Structure 1
Amino acid sequence: MNFYKKDRHYFLRYFIINALVFGLVDILLMKKIHFDFNFALADLFIALVAIVFGLAMATAFHNASHHNFKNKFLNILIGEFCGFYTLIGMRPFRVGHMLHHIHSDDPELDPHPPAGLSFIQFILTSHNRTIEVLKNVYRQNHGASAKTEANIKWQTVFHQMGILFKILFIFIVFGPTLFVSFYVISYLAYFFGFAHLNYISHLPDEDGEIRVKNHSQGFFYQVMNVLTSGGYYHKNHHLNPKLYNPSHYQARAKTSSFQILSTELKV
């Protein structure tokens, strides 16, 4: 987070590298591209595996953003792989997620507060809102100027290029059938799993107050907590983001969530 505040090229450099690397790799692999789609019943099983993989991906990505893998190199490796697979990139995901923790449920500063939105509205607006929050924070840190706006413009250009090149790379490597039966399904599981978890855990109560919630009762949440390593214990996660599985949180822990988050923000 400190790097983002101090280095005006923190995102731009990252997006340029991603676009160049995957663009060059795509050129080298272009001869292998084909469009033969052969669907079989086995692909239904593959789709089920993809759902589990997508939820595991969301869990690993989230934990890597908190540096919850003990080995630093492993944490970087997992985080960057998840960032590639989900198309977002590790750096913007981590910065956006830290802002969510710092400004949780703030109607202006939280990248994705669900208050007043249906789930569909939340899905449709969260991406653009997160981008706008990141842009505003960038302007606050580096000044509102033509230079700043030019940097933001090029961030957008290279980020979108990187997304297209990553999708093409995955399509070439997987082939049309696996791209649909595995990648697309796993991506949707990641996307909707993450969105639902954040939406349902931050909804206002009947009195209008917003209290981050745990969800563990009922078959759906029990299954989802197995597949996401306790991901729906979201209140616990906000109390201690350093737990890979927040269902293991113990209320008697002496370290406050503020102290834990302050330590993370120094990275």
Structure 2
Amino acid sequence: MFRKFRDQPWYLFRYMLVWALVLGALVALSWSPPPGTAAGWLLVLTIAMIISTRFDAMLAALIPAVALSPEPGTTLLWLVLLLPATWSLGVVLAVFIHNASHGQFRPRWLNPVVGELAGWCLRINLLGWKMVHYYHHRYADDPERDPHPPGTMSFWPYANAMQDAHYLHARHQELHGMPSWFYFLVGVVAFAGFALMPLSWYLLLGPIWFAAVWMPVLLSGWWLFTVINYYGHPVGADGRNHAVDLCSRPWHRLVNRVGFGVLYHAAHHDNARLFNPSPAGSAG
């Protein structure tokens, strides 16, 4: 995948187009219109907030998502009751797309399969995640080249700025020098694909389970991405960000137990081949 991104100028567009076409076909096959104009607008609002690059907007999308269901109270009850399971699933899916991007599953053909399926669950695709993560490792904590350096930002401003839609295009343009219309075209196709992801889950699960199951899974995964990139790269005594292991607090230990040592971030940067970079996992 990286080799194609590096060597084939049109690969980025073709990849995004395939995603949009596959999801478009899935939506067309499962299409059932929302029950009324108000529900239709609530669905549009929910999707718009989900595909925004702001984490607070993604969290707030829970409100219209729950309101979409025929029985919001029942949906909210299910959301709360299932939260331990959906949070755990979101964490595991976030770990799986990360580990698939490093080619850690065996046999190797599992990596694109697991990575794309996990990405679909988390409103992202493997190529975008893999390439941005590659550059994060290559330029870790470089304030200019790291795709998501926390610097000295507080948590919420960082959480709302972490998803930079232009970073991948900038790196692609450095490699291939494509004109601006190409990146506009890629952006339109990618935007369509990302919008079709939550729509496909809404149609597959129905309004109740879309809000009670898929939304918490999505938000848990993105919460973990944000936590790792922010708390896993604090500012050191020299004024620069550095990767650290997060393992001292109870919630660290819980996330590491569920997520295969995912918060041992410095250990991961030292050896990205480990599926579980915790001391227990690496010893095993």
TM-score by length of 2: 0.82
Structure 1 residue 134: Cα displacement = 1.5
Gaps in structure 2 of 5+ consecutive residues: 36-67
Partner of residue 204, structure 2? 173
Find the aligned partners of 2:113 and 2:81 in 1 and give their Cα distance. 28
Distance change (3 Å), C-alpha of 1:180 and 1:42: closer
Tell me if structure 2 keeps the 8 A contact 1:101–1:238: yes
The DSSP-based 3-state class of the residue aligned with 2:146 is: coil
Q: What's the CA shift for 1:47?
A: 2.4
Q: Deviations over 1:146-165 (max 9, x none)?
A: x5312211110001101111
Structure 2 counterpart of 1:174, which letter?
Answer: L
Question: Runs (4+) of structure 1 moved beyond 6 Å?
Answer: 249-252
Question: Structure 1 unaligned runs (5+)?
Answer: 253-267
Cα deviation for residue 100 of structure 1 reads 0.2
Instruction: Report the alpha carbon displacement of residue 207 of structure 1 after superposing the two structures with TM.
Output: 3.7
Q: Identify the match of residue 141 of structure 2 among 84, 97, 105.
A: 105
Deviations for 1:89-128, whole angstroms, at most 9, x for unmatched residues? 1011100000000000111111000012111111111112
- Separation in 1 of the partners of 2:79 and 2:128? 33
Aligned with residue 114 of structure 2, among 56, 65, 78: 78
Which of 264, 275, 278 is equivalent to 1:244? 275
Separation in 2, partners of 1:103, 1:196: 19
Query: Does 6-15 or 42-51 show the bigger shift?
Result: 42-51
Q: Deviations over 1:136-193 (max 9, x none)?
A: 21111112xxx53122111100011011112111001111111111111111110011
1:127 to 160, 163, 168: 163
Q: TM-score, normalised by structure 1?
A: 0.87
Q: Structure 1 residue 88: deviation in Å?
A: 1.4
Cα pair 2:91 2:258 within 8 Å, conserved: yes
Q: CA 1:249/1:67 → structure 2, altered by over 3 Å: closer, same or farther?
A: farther
Q: Which amino acid aligns with 2:172?
A: Y
Q: In the aligned structure 1, how far is the partner of 2:212 from the partner of 2:282?
A: 42
In structure 1, the residue matched to 2:232 is: 201
- Tell me which amino acid in the other structure corresponds to 1:156: G
Alignment partners' CA distance in 2, 1:36 and 1:195: 29
Matched residue, 1:262: none
Rounded Cα–Cα distance in structure 1 between residues aligned with 2:34 and 2:120 = 20
- Alpha-carbon separation, structure 1, partners of 2:264 and 2:150: 17
Percent sequence identity is 26
Aligned length: 247
1:58 and 2:94 equivalent? yes
| CA pair 176-124 structure 1, distance change in 2 beyond 3 A | same
Q: Which residue of 2 aligns with 1:157?
A: 188
Which position in structure 2 is the counterpart of 1:265? none
Specify whether residues 240 and 84 from structure 1 end up closer, same or farther in structure 2 by C-alpha distance, changes over 3 A only.
same
